[in-house]
Structure 1
Amino acid sequence: MHYIRSALLALTLTHALTAWAVDLQPNDIVAPPPNKNFITVSYYNTENSTFYSNGAVNSKTSFASPVIDTQSAILRGARTYTLADLPAVSYIQLPYGSVRPAGSLSSAPTDTGFGDLVLATAIWPYANKATRTYVGVGGYLIAPMGSYSSGQAFNLAENRFRTDLQIGFQTPIVGGIDGMIAVDTMWFGGNSQCAAACNSTSDNVSLTQKPLTTTQLGPIYRINEIFTVGASYIYAVGGATSINNTYMNNVVNTQRFLLSGQAHTPIGRFSLQYGRDMEIKNGFIQTRVLAVRLMKDF
């Protein structure tokens, strides 16, 4: 049972991290025009399956055919402005959805409700539209305001504060192709009510986690005035956890890819992203991530 709980903990920590905030879309590093309001509505779906422990597949008992499906509708409101004569944007984001264990994990309860609230601000220390060269810095605060039950291993929220600092760079490579690279590090507050996921019958088990660093890079190609496509390679490392100061030896070491497409229409900007894990060290591998978004300015 301890091994099962540890495995579930690996998923609930790493799965939620890949679902919110730091994955970039094409041209997210491009500085926006000031004094604009944006509303973005998104559908986000992920599926996780085979469980890995230190790089090896485990298929015993509950891990014989695990499936974890997460679906969310995400509402984001953003405002652009200038800060000390620099381009800037702030947004607030709130998800609502469900996480459903299935297959050999079907005995675990489903969670439905709101996810954690995300507040973010980004500024551009350097933005040159003529040369298509940009440097952006963003900060995120994820507040524990979502659905969480200490008696469940799978939750939409994490019952802890998280902060993230990200820096991104984008510049032309050749013709209409730009290259982008972004690096961010997430820091985690403690969760003093980690019960089911931490193999405890008490709510007073303390969960802590080391910082997680993610690097993403890839090309962006503007086909014409309407269509843009992009591809990203994403590498995440760190994020090992401790329960009551006992080290769990579950370092995140994940490689992923993400394919993106955008269409600028009179209705708004439609975005489609698809990806999956290529290689992981610990946790349930993500076999699908699908995001569909509509962003409208007003």
Structure 2
Amino acid sequence: MNLTRFIALTLLALPTTVLAIDLQPNDIVAPLPGKSHAMISYVNTDNSTFYRNGTAVSTRPYGSPDIGTQSAIARVSTSYAIKDLPAISYLQLPYGTIKPAGSLASYPASTGFGDITLATAIWPYADREKRKYFGLAGYLTVPTGGYNSQQVFNTSENRYRSDIQMGYQQPIIENLDGMIAVDTMWFGGNSQCAAACLSATNTSLNQKPLTTTQLGPIYKINQNYTLGASYFYVAGGATTIGNTYQNNVVNTQRFLLSALAYYPFGRISLQYGRDMEIKNGFVETRRLIVRYTTEF
């Protein structure tokens, strides 16, 4: 496969803020019904060295790549009950900038709204006394953001995405809980892939499902402060341009550290993470997230 085409295709995938449905500490805890919340998030990531099949690529112009993204994400959610089972739904809209630099500075940046995500979760099992929860969630991302097929970078993917996730949480000892979640993401086709697919005219981009496993401890210091750590393993997601398979399976390990503070005016959370190991694509060297959530 042509290396330049492989790199260009990897660039196309960068607008995705998160390749999986990352959970914050206690997201698996069933919500009380009749509550509405608004959440504002700031996400800052940086990607550098490009890898192909586990080997760093240094050929020009990819000797010193740098791709920074900044996003503000607004989410509104409401909780309720379905036949006495806890449930929640939300709508999420991102706005952000993707800025290539270093040896990729010749590519134009992209700024604008991203794609809207709709989600609903339900808890078939929730024992608040024993702190044991099992939840199921479904997500749908709709291509409503800005997209220009003549640009490599876009804040929209110009395709539908759907995801099914299941998660379980229970105590380990005293104030220490453990969680595990698995989700699989499916991708619709993008029939207008031109610049990112190194095509003079629009061609089709298709992608295999992507599966993520995340797990880790959650420690409640007191009523106000909670800490968490998560390990992620992401696999799958190989792509096809036209009828040509690109042999670019995602095989990534990463971590995310979280700190949550609960105050009368709302919840503030800080998260930091990065890739630990990557097989294909640009390695993420920093993921910084600040969130504020309030009830209304």
Report the TM range for the smaller structure's normalisation: over 0.9
Cα pair 1:6 1:199 within 8 Å, conserved: no
Percent identical across equivalent pairs? 62
Structure 1 SS opposite 2:4: helix
1:267 counterpart letter in structure 2: F
Cα pair 1:5 1:196 within 8 Å, conserved: no
1:281 counterpart letter in structure 2: K
Q: Distance in 2 between matches of 1:221 and 1:12?
A: 37
Cα pair 1:72 1:96 within 8 Å, conserved: yes
Residues 44-98 of structure 1 show CA distances to partners (whole Å, capped at 9, x for unaligned) of 1110000000000001102100000000111000000001210000000000010
Deviation at 1:2, TM superposition (A): 4.8
Cα pair 2:31 2:79 within 8 Å, conserved: yes
Match of 2:222 in 1: 224
Alignment of 1:93-132 (within 5 A): 93-132=92-131
1:293 and 2:288 matched: no
Q: Distance in 2 between matches of 1:52 and 1:8?
A: 13
TM-score normalised by the chain length of structure 2: 0.98
What are structure 2's unaligned runs of at least 5 residues?
A: none
Deviation at 1:148, TM superposition (A): 1.1
TM-score normalised by the chain length of structure 1: 0.97
1:6 and 2:3 matched: no
Alignment of 1:1-298 (within 5 A): 2-13=2-13, 15-17=14-16, 19=18, 22-203=21-202, 205-298=203-296
Deviation at 1:266, TM superposition (A): 1.5
Q: Distance in 1 between matches of 2:124 and 2:12?
A: 35
| Root-mean-square deviation over aligned CA pairs | 1.2
2:259 counterpart letter in structure 1: G
Cα pair 1:188 1:208 within 8 Å, conserved: yes
Deviation at 1:272, TM superposition (A): 0.6
Q: Distance in 1 between matches of 2:61 and 2:259?
A: 37
Q: Distance in 2 between matches of 1:3 and 1:20?
A: 23
Residues 120 and 21 of structure 1, relative CA distance in 2, 3 Å threshold? farther
Deviation at 1:5, TM superposition (A): 3.4
Residues 239-289 of structure 1 show CA distances to partners (whole Å, capped at 9, x for unaligned) of 000011210000000000000000001120001110000000000000001
Cα pair 1:115 1:157 within 8 Å, conserved: yes
Structure 2 SS opposite 1:193: strand
Residues 148-180 of structure 1 show CA distances to partners (whole Å, capped at 9, x for unaligned) of 111111111100000000000000011110000
Q: Distance in 2 between matches of 1:286 and 1:189?
A: 25
Q: Distance in 1 between matches of 2:218 and 2:8?
A: 36
Q: Distance in 2 between matches of 1:11 and 1:178?
A: 38
2:288 counterpart letter in structure 1: L
Cα pair 2:20 2:212 within 8 Å, conserved: no
Structure 1 SS opposite 2:8: helix
1:23 counterpart letter in structure 2: D
